[in-house]
Amino acid sequence: MSKPRKNVKRIDPRYFLNENQIHTQVSPIPGRPDPRFGRMTIVFDSDVDKGLYIVYNAMKKSKREPDFLQWLSSLGYTQDEMFQQGEVIKGELKRQVSEHPDFPGWSGWSSMTGELQVPQTSQEPAEPLY
């Protein structure tokens, strides 16, 4: 019997899916990621959406990105699906900013502050692992 490799991270089995409830999954990634859109803070209804946005966000890479990639992969997302769903979430953020009453136009939006509330936005992976 071979010994488990030490450099492979194990994901707590509590985070694997039993039913079609991806968006009820709580992120096993330690810490408190605080993604932003410009200077605006983002509150996500789903940790999965937060993880997809963090992985997608090209402006500022997270130190925990590899952990989020591993977790989202364990839920069944491919890298293409992560990118596609990240675009959907960013589109929702852009929509909310453009509909904000103080929106000065895209040339001046970066000075806006406040909070954006993101409802469950992403779709489940095409082939969930449960």
Enumerate long-range contacts of 93-96, CB under 8 Å, 24 or more apart. Answer: 93/37, 93/42, 93/118
pTM: 0.76
Least confident stretch, 100-104, 107-111, 126-130: 126-130
pLDDT of the residue at 18? 42
Residue 115 above 80 pLDDT? yes
> What is the DSSP code (8-state) at residue 109?
G
How many residues would you count in the chain? 130
> What is 31-92 written as a DSSP string?
S----EETTEEEEES-HHHHHHHHHH--SS--TTHHHHHHHHHHTT--HHHHHHHHHHHHHH
Q: What is the pLDDT of residues 22-62, one digit of tens each?
A: 666 677 776 778 888 989 999 999 889 999 999 998 677 77
How many of the other CB atoms lie within 10 Å of CB of 82? 22
Helix (H, G, I), strand (E, B) or coil at 25: coil
β partners of residue 117: 43
